[in-house]
Amino acid sequence: MRHELSRSYLVRRILRRFHVQSGTEATVTAVLLASYPLLFVIAALPTDADDRLPWCWTYLAVVVASYVAEAWAPRATPYLVGTLNWLQVGTLLRWVFREVALLILLARALPLTPVEFAAFTLGLVGLHAVRAAHSALAIYVSQRRRLPLITRNIDLSPLRIPDPPPRLLAAEHVKTILYLDTLPVAGGLVAVLTADFGWALAGAALGLTAGLACCVIMFGHARRNRHLGDGTRVLVTVHESIREYRPEVVLYFSGSIDSAYQVNMWLSTVAQLTRPAVIIMRERGLVPLLGRTSLPVVCVDDLVDLMNFSLPSARVALFPANTAKNLHMLRVPGIGHVFIGHGDSDKAASFNPYTKVYDEVWVAGRAGRDRYLRAQVGVRDEDIVEVGRPQLTGIRPGGDRPADRMFTVLYAPTWEGWLADECQTSVIAMGPKIIRALIAHEPRLRIIYKPHPLTGTRDPGRREPTSRSWP
């Protein structure tokens, strides 16, 4: 009973989702869903010598529309693609529908012998067999090239990592080979239009040849990448390189995909230290979002690999965020563990009870210290160190002398937080008043608005200064 209710709920969600589609989504949805039944209807229509050509051109137009819709659907309406996969009508099955419709059209439009029909059918089946072989090679290469860790600014030449295969043959390998069926499909349509079945056989042969060529290329990459399957060798090579570097400071970061700013704000500060430092990350998806840095970067997502990645020279580990995976570094003895955060505010994150697990808590100033003391969450006063805000080092007081240029005001409010308390950020209650007052100021001011990266997470209307809350 519960399973039936769950399935009914999913169906209602799908139907509701299709009711709110944009114009582009609706067009792509309509073409994708209607083109395949239309192919079967057109293929089944009478096709004698007098009426064959008009229907063939119609069939060609629908075929082209189906290919275009397939190429556009993942970007225009990914929800539809996911729904069709859930309904077991995935990309591969839709391609088979198109090819079966072509076989029906050929059988009705041309006087084929059983041998000719079987040869073309086997050509289509063979193309799918080639696709399967190519997919196996692509997956093999992908697994070999997926090293147990990701690095930056570390010499990996001892690993002899070859160049990756072309993206069309690797990351998009499924559709690359599937789209080769355009050759036998085009050949089949030309055969119907010219009444010469040789075109169909030529298209199938050309598609098979191109598919086999892709397999040969991918097989070469599989041979060149097979040695990368030794994950232990990769770990040892990177580990030895870092140990030779002898880092004393570890900037350790783990977080969600939208939290990269929390570690990026510390990159330049850590790079300016007089002690060698290394950045250790835990999520692969965050590495491409990491800002530019000359520091060595190691992303170790597996706990066991991290436990074996010892750094005897390390003296202190810096933590910009409180996350569950911090425990994996906190268990390491002999290292000072310091919570540096990613900004002070009155939100609960700035006096989290979890923070008492660190040896020290570094705050910007007295307000940060008092915040922990008032909260009484177990963080001792002697463990709190006021270090200022290194990111503001380049800003100097202007003094009492008149400015020789337009005065600049930076308004950088924090975000609204996860709770419903509107006092978490000044944007909601005071932001518009602050900006209006600055705009009305004489002499005129230069205003820089730099909201927190998560502004608008709870209330999208707060994301832009042109929203309903702003002048």
Query: How many Cα atoms sit within 13 Å of 280 on the Cβ side?
Result: 29
Phi first, then psi, for residue 50 (nearest 5°) are -80, -35
Same domain, yes or no, for 49 and 97?
yes
Same domain, yes or no, for 122 and 103?
no
Rounded to whole angstroms, the Cα distance separating 15 from 7 reads 13
Same domain, yes or no, for 140 and 238?
yes
Residue 275's nearest CA partner among 309, 305, 304, 246 is 246
Rounded to whole angstroms, the Cα distance separating 268 from 274 reads 13
Rounded to whole angstroms, the Cα distance separating 452 from 416 reads 9
Residue 421 lies in a domain: yes
Same domain, yes or no, for 272 and 305?
yes
- Secondary structure of 418-465 in HEC code, one letter for each residue: CCCCHHHCHHHHCHHHHHHHHHHCCCCCEEEECCCCCCCCCCHHHCCC
Q: Copy the structure tokens of residue 382.
A: 């002697």
Residue 471 lies in a domain: no
- pLDDT given for residue 453 in this prediction: 75
Q: Copy the structure tokens of residue 250.
A: 């570890």
Q: Copy the structure tokens of residue 219.
A: 């097989």
Residue 463's nearest CA partner among 93, 452, 13 is 452
- What separation in angstroms does the CA of 2 have from each of 5, 7, 8, 9? 5, 9, 10, 11
Please answer whether residues 295 and 312 qualify as being in contact, where contact means their C-beta atoms are separated by less than 8 angstroms. Answer: no
User: Exposed (0-12), middle (13-18) or buried (19+): which is 402, by Cβ within 10 Å?
Assistant: exposed
Query: How many Cα atoms sit within 13 Å of 358 on the Cβ side?
Result: 29
- pLDDT given for residue 123 in this prediction: 94
Same domain, yes or no, for 312 and 335?
yes
**Single residue among 187, 217, 245 that ends a domain in this structure:** 245
- pLDDT given for residue 460 in this prediction: 60
Q: What is the CA radius of gyration of the chain?
A: 31
H-state helical runs in 227-324: 231-245, 261-264, 267-271, 303-307
**Single residue among 209, 228, 245 that ends a domain in this structure:** 245
Rounded to whole angstroms, the Cα distance separating 121 from 116 reads 9
Rounded to whole angstroms, the Cα distance separating 336 from 221 reads 45
Place of tokens 């932001």: 431
Same domain, yes or no, for 226 and 169?
yes
Please answer whether residues 303 and 327 qualify as being in contact, where contact means their C-beta atoms are separated by less than 8 angstroms. Answer: no
Instruction: Report which residue type is found at 195.
Output: A
How many domains, in total, are found in the chain? 4
Residue 172 lies in a domain: yes
Same domain, yes or no, for 180 and 214?
yes
Residue 14's nearest CA partner among 65, 90, 79, 102 is 79
- pLDDT given for residue 425 in this prediction: 73
Residue 399 lies in a domain: no
Rounded to whole angstroms, the Cα distance separating 388 from 307 reads 33
DSSP annotation of 165 reads P
Please answer whether residues 314 and 247 qualify as being in contact, where contact means their C-beta atoms are separated by less than 8 angstroms. Answer: yes
3-state secondary structure of 361: strand
Same domain, yes or no, for 227 and 281?
no
Q: Which residues pair with 363 in a beta bridge?
A: 386
Q: Copy the structure tokens of residue 388.
A: 């200022």
Length of the chain: 471
Same domain, yes or no, for 197 and 103?
no
**Single residue among 79, 109, 139 that ends a domain in this structure:** 109
Q: Is the dihedral of CA 258, 260, 263, 266 positive or negative?
A: negative
Same domain, yes or no, for 175 and 188?
yes
The separation between CA 444 and the C-alpha centre of its own chain, rounded to angstroms, equals 43
Q: Which residues contact 435 (CB under 8 A, 6 or more apart)?
A: 411, 447, 449, 465, 470, 471
Residue 9 lies in a domain: no
Residue 467 lies in a domain: no
Residue 204 lies in a domain: yes
- pLDDT given for residue 169 in this prediction: 87
Same domain, yes or no, for 277 and 369?
yes
- What separation in angstroms does the CA of 115 have from each of 121, 122, 385, 415, 440? 10, 10, 85, 71, 86
Rounded to whole angstroms, the Cα distance separating 147 from 161 reads 10
Q: Copy the structure tokens of residue 51.
A: 């009426």
How large is the angle between the packed helices 52-76 and 78-86, nearest 10 degrees? 100
Residue 351 lies in a domain: yes
CA angle 421, 423, 424 (to 5 degrees): 80
- pLDDT given for residue 12 in this prediction: 47
Rounded to whole angstroms, the Cα distance separating 165 from 171 reads 9
Rounded to whole angstroms, the Cα distance separating 322 from 361 reads 12
Residue 271, domain extent: 249-392
Extract long-range pairs of 22-28: CB within 8 Å, 24+ residues apart.
24/76, 25/76, 25/77, 25/80, 28/69, 28/72, 28/73, 28/76, 28/77, 28/80
Same domain, yes or no, for 221 and 138?
yes
**In which residue ranges of the chain is pLDDT below 50?**
1-7, 9-20, 465-471
3-state secondary structure of 74: helix
Please answer whether residues 421 and 459 qualify as being in contact, where contact means their C-beta atoms are separated by less than 8 angstroms. Answer: no
